[in-house]
Structure 1
Amino acid sequence: MTERPAKRRRVELSLDDKLKIIKSFESVPKPTFRSLSEKFSIGKSTVGDIIKKREVYKAEFEKNISGNKRRFNNACKFDKLNELVWQWFCQARAKNISISGPIIQEKASEFAKELAVADFKGSNVMPPKTSAERIAAYRARIRSNPNKKLDYLNKERIRDKRRRL
């Protein structure tokens, strides 16, 4: 039986490091993604992602953002809409109303019209950043009131198991 290769260590690059990669990429002769990935000890796809977003990184640098900063504000432009949908969802589940994805999409579209959001398109995917936090909060509420049904959480667990397979 063959052993798995050692997992590569996660490397978080600062803005300065990303700008060094961009400058190296724009130099003559142009280096390959592989040579840059070996030089900075990161994956080739990470180099590609940095090159794709080079204009964003250059703009951040020009705004005098600290070069040591590793992450930027990735706030969703529909935060208010997300919050309204989440509040509606919690209220509906508290009343034991069964809710499916299309129902959530429809309600989100209604809220978008009320808020006059022009470029909103309802998707059937929750943002990964918040879905785990919200499910955990929902679980905590249910634990505090054990008489509530767990059908929503059970569906989420089944989906997670299917994704893993």
Structure 2
Amino acid sequence: MSAVKRKLKTLSLAEKLEVLQAAKSCKKKKDVAEQFGLPMSTLSTIIKNESDIMKKIQNGQSLSCKRQRIAEFPGLEECSLKWFEQCRSQNISVSGLMLQENAEIYSKSPGLTNFRASNG
């Protein structure tokens, strides 16, 4: 028997919503999995996480988003974003280095530890 390689497939929120709607339409789970090219375990996980998927959609997360990235320092990220938006509203060009320096300054005021500004 030969080993079968599975191609990993990351679904967006819109695709997960389609999968959930198909699963609710009284189709067999096997047929839904085949329709979307998913393993049964992935389909089961999507169905199990339906409430989380719906919360993300209700909170306005982009339907094309495939992965949610959570900030390690959300307060710092919010301050940096506000600063960036203020600069852009005044037509001030902002470079990556300026963002890093600004984040370093904000990280010292609330006393955050282990913060290091990166290119990301």
Structure 2-normalised TM-score?
Answer: 0.54
Distance in 2 (alpha carbons) for counterparts of 1:74 and 1:18: 20
The answer for unaligned runs of 5 or more in structure 2 is 73-120
Which consecutive residues of structure 1, in runs of 5 or more, have no partner in the other structure? 77-165
One of 36, 39, 45 as aligned partner of 1:43: 39
CA deviation map 1:72-131 (0-9, x unaligned): 24689xxxxxxxxxxxxxxxxxxxxxxxxxxxxxxxxxxxxxxxxxxxxxxxxxxxxxxx
Q: Partner residue of 2:2?
A: 3
Partners of 2:3 and 2:10 in 1: how far apart?
24
Give the alignment of 1:1-165 within 5 angstroms.
2-5=1-4, 7-27=5-25, 30-73=26-69
Name 1:147's counterpart in structure 2.
none
- Partners of 1:46 and 1:15 lie apart in 2 by 14
Provide the C-alpha distance between the structure 2 equivalents of 1:74 and 1:48, rounded to a whole number of angstroms.
Answer: 25
Larger radius of gyration: 1
Higher helix share: 1
RCO higher in structure (CA 8 A, sep ≥6): 2
Change (3 A) 1:74 1:44: farther
Alignment RMSD (CA, Å) = 1.8
Aligned length: 72
Percent of residue pairs bearing the same amino acid type = 25
